[in-house]
Structure 1
Amino acid sequence: MSKTREYDAGTNQSKQRERLLLWLSGCLVFPILGLAYWIGQRYLPAGILLSGLAVVLAPLPALIYFRRDCRRLLARAAASDEEVVQLKLQLDTVRYRTSRLREELQAADRQARLSHQLTLLGQFTAGFMHEFNNPLAIVAGRIEVLLEERKEDRAICADLEQMLKETQYMTSIASTLLQALRRERGGEVFDASVPQKSLEDALEAQRPSASSRGVKLLLEASEVPRVDVPEHVVGEVVRGLLSNAVEALKERANATVWVRLEPYRTAGARVVVKVEDNGPGVPDSIRGHLFEPFVSQSTGRERLGLGLFLAASLLDMYDGRIRYEPRDGGGASFVVELPPARFTRGQPYHWFAGGKTE
């Protein structure tokens, strides 16, 4: 501010000096007029010529002064315009940074609330799992006793074996669910699983619900190696995707869900499972947040929006991936990538040497 005042004071002093010089230069016309009058008395044409010269020279200092003043004003106007442009750029930068900070603040606030919700959910799940596992273990033990007692009745034994299998599956998935919510990598020891078996079990579990809603479930499986993911995790992920697909296809004509186990062509590549349907697909508005918690396409309260989040969390524990892509011809397609198991007893090195053992 002080520099501006000093500049203005210097400018005023310079203008005062220029005005004084302008008046002094203008006074030089009077001697020329006096000389013209004196000469005109003796030789009239010369007097007239000097008088005309005086008239012509009279406004010259003023013109020079105003020309310089005009240039100075134009320079100041150009400098002011440039300063205005710079200020606008700075203002736009401030607005952009303010907008970014506001967005980051809102994102941080959403993340804080989400972390709080997940913390509460983890605490609730821990208590629920503790209470859930005890009666589940009792049910599994009782089914095993019934299998021994009714081993002569094959029909009943088949139902009991299916019930025991589902009970064991519930026990297995319950043991990893809490780890998934806490984003902890699984540390348990497990055998490499056969993807096709997990897909078949998941389809069988979902088939009654799909049939009641008029939805066809189709399996297209190719030969692939075992995967380095527990069988119950693969099954849980596929079951969740099937459940979502069946829910999206309710009351639609020719409703179909395809579960495809892609051909395995490159040694060391991931095993790919696709769950596709010919439903409405996923709206653009939530595609970027599909695998975040509490994001659901359902309008009712029966779904919390945790299914895809848990699927992604479970797969992340075992170096797996899941993504969404629109299906050709309409519908949704979820792609699950599973890491292959190397050098297992069931699938030895030949999967990674380009051929099959005899």
Structure 2
Amino acid sequence: MASGVAHELNQPLSVIRMGATFLSKMINKGRKIKDEELRTVTEQIVGQVDRASAIINHMRDFARVGIKTTDLDVNLPIKNIIGIFGQQFKVRDIAIELDLDDNLPHIMADSNKLEQVLLNLVVNARHVIEEKGEPGGKVTIRSFSDKGRVAVSVSDTGNGIPDHILDKIFEPFFTTKKVGAGTGLGLSISYGIVKDYGGTIDVKTEVGIGTTFVLKFPPCSNAK
């Protein structure tokens, strides 16, 4: 874990150092820095600072202290996510289909944390659909009962996950995205959150067809 964090942070820090070194040398030599060069270097530095901050914030989430739970309707965080981000999918011509069971028992979880999990899955779904580059992409979110447990599934019509990386997707810092496009912590954090609430997260995938993540939680002890 420590080596992974060091590797991820070293990349933005190296870019920041290069930019700062360039500016320092130009100033020490009394050379005028062109506006375009100055703008490019400062934008790169700011971008890499943001990336380093994102990595640190992800690590804070990964090292969660304490578990906050409340009696929760699992459909609530789903509706919140779609209400906030649904327009982004519409603009990208990606359909979102909801199939929610309104009669499910409640679970013990934190709405904000569950929103974090769902947001990560939905954003990943959008990414793989855009990566596939075919029209008619769709994300389907379902809530349903499965053998006495409360289940939520997020399905996409992306390219699916190859077998040789399927067992790595929940590992910290594992990502198939380009350098700088992701920290590789989203799924590992989501896995930890789901486990905190006594749940499980499984993956069903078919290369060329798409992927479905299935979350399952125990119902509240007072649920009928």
TM-score (norm 1): 0.44
* Contact 1:198/1:232 (8 A) holds in 2: yes
Answer 1 or 2: which has greater strand percent. 2
- Rounded to whole Å, the distance in 1 between the matches of 2:134 and 2:218 is 35
**Residue in structure 1 matched with residue 125 of structure 2 by the alignment:** 245
Deviations 1:130-172 (A, max 9, x none): xxxxxxxxxxxxxxxxxxxxxxxxxxxxxxxxxxxxxxxxxxx
Q: Which residue in the other structure is 2:63 paired with?
A: 182
Name the Cα RMSD after superposition: 2.7
Change (3 A) 1:274 1:319: same
CA contact (8 A) 2:141 2:155 kept: yes
Q: Would the aligned equivalents of 1:272 and 1:335 in 2 still touch at CA under 8 Å?
A: yes
Matched, 1:257 2:144: no
**How far, CA to CA, are the matches of 1:327 and 1:288 in structure 2?**
14
**Distance between the aligned counterparts of 1:319 and 1:274, measured in 2?**
17
Residue 327 of structure 1, CA deviation: 5.2
**How many residues are paired up?**
174
Q: Distance in 2 between matches of 1:195 and 1:296?
A: 28
> Matched residue of 2:108: which SS?
coil
Separation in structure 1 between the aligned mates of residue 166 and residue 185 of structure 2, nearest angstrom: 15
Match of residue 105 from structure 2 = 225
Match of 2:191 in 1: 312
Once the two structures are TM-superposed, the CA of residue 116 in structure 1 deviates from its matched residue by 3.9
| Superposed CA offset, 1:209-243 (max 9, x none) | 21221111111011211111111122111111000
- Quickly say closer, same or farther: Cα 1:195–1:286, change in 2 above 3 A: same
Question: Could you say which residue in structure 1 is the equivalent of 2:213?
Answer: 334
Instruction: Report how far residue 280 of structure 1 moved.
Output: 0.5
- In the TM superposition, 1:267-346 aligns within 5 A as 269-326=148-205, 330-343=209-222
Work out the percentage of aligned pairs sharing the same amino acid: 22
Report the 3-state secondary structure (helix = DSSP H, G, I; strand = E; otherwise coil) of the residue aligned with 1:276: strand
* Alpha-carbon distance between aligned partners in 2 of 1:234 and 1:306, rounded to the nearest angstrom: 16
The corresponding residue for 1:356 is: none
Query: Structure 2: which amino acid aligns with 1:341?
Result: C
Q: Measure, in 1, the Cα distance between the counterparts of 2:67 and 2:128.
A: 35
Structure with higher Rg: it is: 1
- The higher relative CO (CA closer than 8 Å, separation ≥ 6) is in 2
Describe the shift of the 1:118–1:321 C-alpha distance in structure 2 as closer, same or farther (beyond 3 A): farther
Instruction: Name the CA shift for 1:231/1:177 in 2 (closer, same or farther; >3 Å).
Output: farther
The letter of the residue matching 2:77 is S
Asked whether the equivalents of residues 281 and 331 of structure 1 are also in contact (C-alpha less than 8 Å), the reply is yes
Contact 2:161 2:207 in 1 (8 A): no
Q: 5 Å matches for 1:1-358? A: 114-118=1-5, 180-182=61-63, 184=65, 186-188=66-68, 190-222=69-101, 223-250=103-130, 251-262=133-144, 264=145, 266=147, 269-326=148-205, 330-343=209-222, 349=223, 351=224
Query: Taking structure 1 as reference, are residues 323 and 119 closer, same or farther at Cα in structure 2, changes over 3 Å only?
Result: farther
For residue 179 of structure 1, report the CA deviation from its aligned partner: 6.4
CA 1:226–1:327: 2 relative to 1, 3 Å: farther
Q: TM-score, normalised by structure 2?
A: 0.69
Q: 2 CA distance for matches of 1:195 and 1:272?
A: 9
Distance 2:182 2:196 in 1: 24
**CA–CA distance in 2 between the matches of 1:265 and 1:302?**
35
The structure richer in helix per residue is 1
Preserved contact between residue 180 and residue 314 of structure 1 (Cα < 8 Å): no
What CA deviation, in whole Å up to 9, does each residue of 1:74-118 have, x standing for no partner? xxxxxxxxxxxxxxxxxxxxxxxxxxxxxxxxxxxxxxxx23445
Paired letter, 1:319: G
Deviation at residue 274 of structure 1 after TM alignment:
0.6
Return the offset for 1:294.
1.1
Paired residues of 2:149 and 2:216 also in contact (CA < 8 A): yes
Instruction: Give the SS at the match of 1:192.
Output: strand
Distance in structure 1 (CA, Å) of the matches to 2:214 and 2:98? 15
In structure 2, C-alpha distance between the alignment counterparts of 1:301 and 1:120, rounded to whole Å = 12
Which residue in the other structure is 2:20 paired with? Answer: none
Runs of 4+ in 1 over 3 A off after TM superposition: 115-121, 176-180
After TM superposition, give the deviation of residue 182 of structure 1 in Å. Answer: 2.1
